[in-house]
Every structure is written in C-alpha cells, then in structure tokens.
Chains A and B, each alone.
Chain A
C-alpha cells in the first residue's frame, strides 16, 4: 500500500510545485488537476487496503471527480474570457492589482 501513497504524495507536491512556478494559466490549472487527482488516489487506496469492508472512500472519489470537472469548467471559462480580452493567458499580464 505504501507505494501507492508515495505515488499520490509525489503527484500532489508536483502539483504544488507547478502551481507556484508556472506562468501560463492553463499550466496552473493542469497542476491543480494533478493535486485533486492525487487526493482521489489517496481515498481509493485507504479504502481498498485499510477498510476493505466499506465503500465510503470510493463514493467520495466519485463525487470529488465530478466536482473537479465542474471546477475545471469554470476555470477554463474564466481563462477563455481573459484570452478574449487581452489575447494572452500569461499571469504576468494579469497583475493590475497589487499589495
């Protein structure tokens, strides 16, 4: 079981790293997806190996996948709106408000 958890942790922190370092809004969104899916792996692994008699973790994963899809849809809508307005999705161009 430990190998699966190692994979999910690596995925999660790769997502955190990407979230912090990427300058393209879509790349940031992809990093966020990595984080969300790493958590789903966690739930499934805990359920399968620690509590095999029940299904709560699996159900949570199903709902989390659906919600993550909705989140992605909204984030992409906002990114498209930014692209229509400034023809660019680089975070360096979306910095009018500071401090």
Chain B
C-alpha cells in the first residue's frame, strides 16, 4: 500500500497529533503539572497554525476522496485563528471549580470538532463530507452539555442534539437521492455526469435544508437562540463563529464543484433564503433582552450576509466570503470575550445589566463598542470592508435587488447594535456592574480581537493575497 497519500493530509495529521498529545497529557499528568494545561493547549495550536502557514499542501489523495488547495489552506488558518482566540478566552472559565475536572475534555473535544471541519472543507466525496460534518457536530453537542448540572446547559444540549440528528438525516436523504440520480459520490464525477432530473432536484433541496440547519439559515434557525443562550459562553462563541464559517465554506465548495451546472435551480432558492434570513434575524434581534440570545439572532443575520458570497458564485464571491469570515471571527469573538468576562465576574448577561457600564469598566465598554460597530459595518473598522466586498461580489453578478434589501437591513442592524452601546454609555442605573479586574488571558484575547477589528480592514494585503487563490463556478 502506498502511504505517501497521507502526506497530503498533513494539516489533519498535525492537528491529530496535537489532540493526541493533549489527551495523553490530560490523562497522565499529575495534579501539579496539569496547571499549565490551558497554555500548553494554546501554544500547541499556535504552533500547528504556523505549520499550516509555512507548509501549504496542494493536491488530492486517495483517488480524489481528499482534496486540498491554497485557498482551503487559508480557510483552515482562519478557523485555527478563531479557535485559538476561543481557547485563550475560555481560560478563566475552564479553571473555574465547576469545570476543573472536565477541563481536558473541553480542549480535546473542541480540537476534535476542528478536525471534523478540516475534513469537511477539504473533502472530495460525499462520504468524507458527511463524516467530517458529523465529526464537527457530535463533539459539539457534548460541549454544549459540558456544564451538566445547569438546567440551561442540558436543555440546550438536548435541543441541539435532536436538531443536529434531524438535519443530518435530511441531508443523508438528499445525498441518497443524488446518488440514485447520478450513481457516484465523488464530487468531480457527479459534476461531470450531472443531468437535471427531478430526483436530483429533490436531493439538492434536501441537502440545502440539511446545511441550512448547520449554518442556521432562517426557516431552519429555531434551535439557534436556545442553544446559544444555554451553552457556556465560550462554546457559544465557538458555535457562532467557527462552526458557522466552516459550514458556509463547505456549502460553497459543494455548490461550486458539484452543482454548478444546475445553478439556475439553487440560486433562486438561495436568493429567497438570504432575504428571509437577514430580515427575520434582524427583526427578532431587536426585541431580545438577553445578550447571548441577542448575539444568536445577530449571527443568524450575519449568516445571511455570508451567503451573499455563495450566491455570487464567482472567485470574488469566494474571496469575500473568506474575508468576511475572518473579520467576523475578530468582531464576534471580541463581543463574546467581553460578555464572558462580565458573566464570569458577576453572572449577568442581560442588556439592562449593562446600563452605565462605561462609568465602571471603560476599557471593556470601548472594546465592546468597537466590535459592535464592526459587526454593524461602520467605515473605519474591518466590518465595513468585509460588507463592502461581499456586496460588491453580489452586485457584480447582477443581484441588485438582493443587495438593496441587504443594505436596508444593515440599517436595522445598526439600530439594535446601538441599543447596547446606548445602554453602556448613556443610560444610568443604580446597581451598576462594579469595576472588574479581568485576568491576563481575557485581556490578551480581547485586545487581539480589537486589534484585528482595527487593522484587518486597513491592511489591504490580506484581501488581495486571497484573490489569486480563489476559484468560482
């Protein structure tokens, strides 16, 4: 047997090595030497990110089952950066007495889902795609349930696991119809012999529905708010950024590679989905009082914006999607960083609790404000540039009405993001949150995120370095 095929999978293998080292460390280390566990985990992941950066692989292995290219490598790096930020952020929470015993599991399971996402985005066959997807979502259900004595946590886990199972069986049915229509599961072979039969269309729609659950597009979004509210904040951050970004990119790769010849069928479907996703996500976010639920609906509408890059179907669309996810990583993780610092110190997550926060915690307030401005897309921050590029990609392909609706929705989103800013800076309250002395890890991750929000938009080299690598339909 030829083992050199595994060399192409060095991204996955290096991550697997990190996971194994951490697992053994967690199992065999003494109580005293385990104290450095969190930092060792972050360091190993950082080293692995650097390895991805210097050593990109291009090619395919196992007869086209596994594919990798520079653009897929960049997506993996973006996912790694986000995971690294989440891990740094989770440091305090993972050291809390409640979590102490399960700390190792948190890191190993998180990296395991990352490995699943790697497989999902670089698969060249529906079998590997499905295995990667399940590997990404099954450990996540365990992570959502990790605070197992908190009612919200296990309720969220129950909702998440059943919705995940339901959506993956819908997707499996879709894949089985595609298999019945074409007779192969390899992306390239399907694309070569694709004929638009009714069986294929049913399969395509079911597949879209299954992916819609994962990305939380609107008619399939009902689990999002509950799971985001109930899960521990670090897991919520991970769910809202990394798993959503990976699923969106995987959907785009499949639509481009496999279903590009029936684009006339899925583009109108996606058009409608984007419109209701953005609109309903925004309208429901306005009435939320709990900040984690609020961020859930905000992330639903952001998913709609991300899909604008998919519907464009061009190389520009792919570039702007990756760029959007990168910026979204920084802005959203800054918000969740501030939320988790305040939640760890005081246990408060409601918007009314943030009244007068600027008086007592000016740095946290400014960080949260910058991140919210970036999410809303106000000019000097990175969020403006990412929205600009993604709208540009859609306009270039002639989706004028769609972009107009998205623009109108940006105004609604500005309104509710400013509600939080107003609570912090203008409204007063008698029982303001006291001054919080945050620890080094949270400071590091929040300042890295704010730095990203400020700089990623201004350093134009980031966008233009992705351009030559991406491909369209």
- Identify the A interface with B (CB < 8 A): 12, 15, 19, 25, 28-29, 32, 35-36, 38-39, 42-43, 46-47, 50-51, 54, 56-57, 59-60, 63-64, 67, 70-71, 74-75, 77-79, 81-82, 85-86, 94-99
Contacts and interface: CB of A to CB of B under 8 A. Distances in A.
Given A39-B173, A57-B179, A85-B148, 14 more contacts: A19-B162, A32-B169, A35-B169, A39-B169, A42-B176, A50-B183, A56-B185, A63-B127, A63-B130, A71-B165, A74-B138, A85-B149, A97-B155, A97-B226
Interface string B145-178: 1001101101111100110111011001101110
A70 to B, nearest CB: 6
Nearest to A72: B165
B134 interface: yes
B355 interface: no
A29 to B, nearest CB: 8
A78 B141 contact: yes
B157 A36 contact: no
A60 B138 contact: no
Nearest to B127: A60
Contacts of B155: 82, 94-97
List the 9 shortest-distance A-B pairs measured between CB atoms, nearest first.
A46-B180, A42-B176, A35-B169, A39-B172, A97-B226, A51-B183, A32-B165, A75-B161, A78-B157
B184 interface: yes
B165 A96 contact: no
A54 B186 CA distance: 13
Contacts of B99: none
Nearest to B139: A74
- Please tell me the size bucket of the interface on B: 35 or more
Interface of B: 126-127, 130-131, 134, 138, 141-142, 145, 148-149, 151-152, 154-158, 161-162, 164-166, 168-169, 172-173, 175-177, 179-180, 183-185, 225-226, 229-230
Contacts of B131: 63, 67
Contact of B127 (A19, A25, A59): A59
Contacts of B130: 60, 63-64, 67
Contacts of B230: 97
**Which of B169, B180, B184, B230 has the most chain A CB atoms closer than 10 A to its own CB?**
B169
A32 B138 CA distance: 15
B220 to A, nearest CB: 14
B151 A85 contact: yes
A25 B158 CA distance: 9
A25 B155 CA distance: 12
Contact of B152 (A56, A59, A97): A97
A97 B156 contact: yes
Contacts of A79: 158
Contacts of B184: 54, 56
B176 A36 contact: no
B166 A35 contact: yes
Contacts of B127: 56, 59-60, 63
A99 B226 CA distance: 8
Contacts of A78: 141, 145, 154, 157-158, 161
Nearest to A71: B165
Contacts of A50: 180, 183
